[in-house]
Amino acid sequence: MNLTDLTGTKYPIIQGGMANIATGEFAAAVSNAGGLGLVASGGMDAEALREQIKICKSKTDKPFGVNLMLMNPDVENIAQMLIEEKVQFITTGAGNPGKYMAGWKAMGAKVFPVVASVALAKVMVRSGADAVIVEGGESGGHVGDMTTMTLLPQVAAAVDVPIIAAGGIASGEQMAAVMLLGACGVQIGTCLLVSEECPIHDNYKEALIKAKDNATTVTGRSQGAPVRIIKNEMAREYLKLEAEGAGREELERITLGGLRRAVVDGDIIRGSVMAGQVCGQLSAIRPVADILDDLYVNAKHTLSNASTIAI
Ligand X SMILES: Cc1cc2nc3c(=O)[nH]c(=O)nc-3n(C[C@H](O)[C@H](O)[C@H](O)COP(=O)(O)O)c2cc1C
Using CB under 6 A, list all residues that contact ligand X: 16-19, 21, 40, 42, 67, 69, 93, 114, 135, 138-141, 166-169, 187-191, 274-276, 278
Smallest separation (angstroms) from ligand X to the CB of 46: 16
Beta carbons within 8 Å of 92's beta carbon, 6+ residues apart: 67, 68, 69, 70, 111, 112, 113, 114
**Alpha helices, DSSP H, located in 98-201:** 98-107, 118-127, 148-158, 172-180, 190-193
CA distances from 299 to 16, 24, 156, 245 (A): 19, 28, 20, 45
**CB count, 10 Å around CB of 147?**
15
Smallest separation (angstroms) from ligand X to the CB of 256: 16
Cβ closest to ligand X, residue 188 vs residue 268? 188
Cβ closest to ligand X, residue 212 vs residue 305? 212
For 129-142, letters b (16+ CB in 10 Å) and e give bbbbbbbbbbbbbb
**Residue 38: strand, helix, or coil:** strand
Smallest separation (angstroms) from ligand X to the CB of 49: 12
Smallest separation (angstroms) from ligand X to the CB of 140: 3
Cβ closest to ligand X, residue 62 vs residue 228? 228
**Residue 46: strand, helix, or coil:** helix
Smallest separation (angstroms) from ligand X to the CB of 57: 20
Whether the CB-CB separation of 190 and 276 falls below 8 Å is answered with yes
Cβ closest to ligand X, residue 65 vs residue 276? 276
Smallest separation (angstroms) from ligand X to the CB of 240: 23
**Residue 264: strand, helix, or coil:** coil
Give the count of alpha carbons within 13 A of 227, CB side only: 22
Cβ closest to ligand X, residue 73 vs residue 245? 73
Which one-letter amino acid corresponds to residue 95? G
Measured on CA atoms in the order 15, 6, 4, 59, is the torsion positive or negative? negative
Smallest separation (angstroms) from ligand X to the CB of 259: 7
d(CA 251, CA 219): 10
Cβ closest to ligand X, residue 39 vs residue 156? 39
Cβ closest to ligand X, residue 16 vs residue 271? 16
Taking the C-alpha atoms of 259, 261, 263 and 267 in order, what is their torsion angle to the nearest 10 degrees?
-120
Smallest separation (angstroms) from ligand X to the CB of 189: 2
Cβ closest to ligand X, residue 34 vs residue 276? 276
